[in-house]
């Protein structure tokens, strides 16, 4: 939710968010802002390594660039696309969004 809606990680420390989270998942402890940021960094590093290994075995890759704006900010996204040899399905990965 924080990533998709472009909300600051500090949202987890706001009283309204804490109340909502407690109501929805009363038996789960809400992680702190620092723990959440650390987990996101760890997930990013893991996913990046998996993607590097996956792309090593791809013969042909197409890249695309896309511009968009949200919340009065502009973004440039770059993605890689290829066809999976075993399923013949198109696979896409976002490489960056600046």
Angle at 60 between CA 54 and CA 65, to 5 degrees: 90
Return the pLDDT at 58: 93
Query: What are the φ and ψ backbone dihedral angles of 48, each rounded to 5 degrees?
Result: -60, -45
Quick one: pLDDT at residue 84? 92
Both structure tokens of 6: 């472009």
pTM: 0.65
Q: State pLDDT tens for residues 17-42.
A: 999 989 999 998 888 999 989 998 89
Asked whether residue 79 carries a pLDDT value surpassing 90, the answer given is yes
Question: Could you read off the pLDDT of 42-78 as tens digits, one per residue?
Answer: 988 999 999 999 999 999 999 999 998 888 889 999 9
- The Cβ of residue 78 has, within 10 Å, a number of other Cβ atoms equal to 14
3-state secondary structure of 49: helix
Does residue 3 have a pLDDT over 80? no
Quote the pLDDT of residue 88. Answer: 95
Which residues are 73's β-sheet partners? 70
């Amino acid at each position: 939710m924080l990533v998709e809606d472009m909300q600051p990680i500090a949202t987890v420390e706001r009283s309204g968010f804490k109340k909502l989270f407690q109501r929805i998942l009363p038996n789960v402890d809400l992680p702190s802002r620092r723990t959440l940021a650390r987990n996101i960094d760890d997930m990013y590093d893991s996913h990046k390594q998996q993607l590097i290994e996956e792309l090593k075995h791809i013969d042909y890759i197409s890249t695309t660039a896309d511009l968009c704006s949200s919340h009065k900010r502009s973004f440039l996204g770059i993605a890689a696309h290829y066809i999976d040899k075993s399923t013949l399905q198109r696979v896409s990965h976002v490489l960056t969004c600046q």
